[in-house]
Homo-oligomer: A and B are copies of this chain.
Amino acid sequence: MKKIALILSGCGVYDGSEIHETTMAMLALSKNEVEYECFAPNKEQYHVINHLNGDVTNEKRNILVESARIARGKIKDIKELQVSGFSGLLLPGGFGAAKNLSNYAFKAEDFTVDEDIANIIKAFHTARKPIAALCIAPVLIAKVLGARVTIGNDMTTVDIIKSVGATHVNKEYHEIAVDEKNLIITNPCYMLADNIYQVSLGAEAAVGAMLGLMKK
């Protein structure tokens, strides 16, 4: 029985998981009759953004509690994630990946990945279980594993991916980069997509390739 672990980082593009990317990934899994389970760090978000006007607010929100909104309450603390229970790992994008799962949004080339997240990525990699990452989340994989990834074609991001010892390949919104050696699948999603349908095509392509790699 295939089961995928999804790592969420909040609920909303500017301070958490990008909602469309997350639900399009869930849809692609569900359509393929693949189970998934959601996880998120049980700690405070880096900050809370008012998504109407872009302002940073004074609120405090917990990453796990907010991620539960996308997961309809079915979500666990990332510390409970056991690699042995899953066939693969999927990280949707959104600024949460760059603010809550890493500090990429603030440190650029000097960024680091949250220790729990880095350990999970390493554990799936060591177990030869595929890892898919969407939008900006591939920078985390680049940093932790030095793999071959795509985030589309944004040169600032590409240069940082190269600076941490990884390889970047330019791709369109509907295309994926597949690192067969490391079992890494990446897609640009909203780094390039203009609408939710284009995001769904990227998420479907990534999930399809992920399922294919599980057979190897």
Contact = CB atoms under 8 A, between A and B. Distances in A.
Interface stretch (A64-72, A133-141, A149-157, A180-188): A64-72
A73 B20 CA distance: 13
A31 interface: yes
Interface in A62-86: 64-66, 68-73, 75
Contact of A197 (B13, B31, B69): B31
As for how many copies of this chain the complex holds, the number is 2
A66 B15 CA distance: 12
Interface residues on chain A, size class = 20 to 34
Interface stretch (A46-54, A106-114, A123-131, A207-215): A46-54
Contacts of A54: 73
Nearest to A66: B51
Contacts of A52: 64-65, 68, 73, 75
Interface stretch (A22-30, A97-105, A164-172): A22-30
